[in-house]
Amino acid sequence: MNNSEFEKSLFNDLAAKHGKNSKSLNYGSEQSKIIRSIKASEIIHDMIRSHSLKSTILDIGCGFCDLFSELEKLIEIDHYTGVDIAQNVIDLIDKDITTDERVTIICGDYFNMIDLGNMDIVANIGALNYDHNLDSVVEKITKMYNSSNIGTVFTLSSSIQPVDERGSVAYWDPAEIVKLMFHITPYVRLDHDYLKREMLISLTKNATV
């Protein structure tokens, strides 16, 4: 089973078992689930502030679209595209989100699908968690950055000791990841203060102020 088949099966099984619950996204608690989306939406707000436009958002691994709900409070959304590999997860998204005319939800593996075109912001909250291959993770981040007009924002788990076990979350050293990000853009932001053992990184094409 390759990595994306593993994730598809993991999240389909979890959603079938737990329903609309943070456990279906393999998160420790409802609180941590929402803190991630709140923090990511604040960062996205900072990223687009100087552009003052109605933004297009791509959310890779959208889960229940918590990011959409938080972003709506802060920015004007022109269009939000949520992609998730697990149909059982998509089936649990609230109907008032799926029927919103600004929203498109697509089931599939983002990294192996036809090009969706560039969006202003490309977000990935938790959908890089199970890839233990650093070259592959950097390649995915590069694709996300190149597919954005303004920039990309993503989470990775962080710890001093990397663990290399299939099926477990991959942990990375924030300093190592940040150093690699400077090969992509000089405009790198690291937030490592909102949850234990997790980082949010944003890469932008220009300075945000």
Ligand X SMILES: C[S@@+](CC[C@H](N)C(=O)[O-])C[C@H]1O[C@@H](n2cnc3c(N)ncnc32)[C@H](O)[C@@H]1O
| Residues in touch with ligand X (CB under 6 A) | 4, 7, 11, 25-26, 33, 36-37, 60-63, 66, 83-86, 89, 109-111, 125-127, 129
CB of 96: closest distance to ligand X in angstroms? Answer: 17
CB of 44: closest distance to ligand X in angstroms? Answer: 13
**Quick one: how far is CA 77 from the chain centroid?**
17
CB of 120: closest distance to ligand X in angstroms? Answer: 18
Tokens read off for 87: 């149909």
CB of 107: closest distance to ligand X in angstroms? Answer: 8
CB of 22: closest distance to ligand X in angstroms? Answer: 8
In this structure, how many other beta carbons lie within 10 angstroms of the beta carbon of residue 93? 20
User: CB–CB of 88/21 below 8 Å?
Assistant: no
Q: In sequence order, which ranges of the chain are alpha helices (DSSP H)?
A: 3-18, 30-49, 66-72, 87-90, 95-98, 134-146, 174-181
Q: Which is nearer to ligand X, 193 or 209 (CB)?
A: 193
Q: Which is nearer to ligand X, 26 or 185 (CB)?
A: 26
CB of 76: closest distance to ligand X in angstroms? Answer: 21
Q: Residue type for 193, please?
A: D
Q: Please provide the distance, in angstroms rounded to a whole number, between the alpha carbons at the two ends of the chain.
A: 44
Q: Which is nearer to ligand X, 85 or 119 (CB)?
A: 85
All residues at 6 or more sequence positions from 152 whose CB lies less than 8 Å from its CB, including other chains: 121, 122, 123, 124, 141, 144, 145, 202, 203
Q: Which is nearer to ligand X, 47 or 195 (CB)?
A: 195
Q: Which is nearer to ligand X, 70 or 175 (CB)?
A: 70
Q: Which is nearer to ligand X, 91 or 176 (CB)?
A: 91
3-state secondary structure of 65: coil
Determine the Cα–Cα distance for residues 145 and 141; give it in Å rounded to an integer.
6
3-state secondary structure of 103: strand
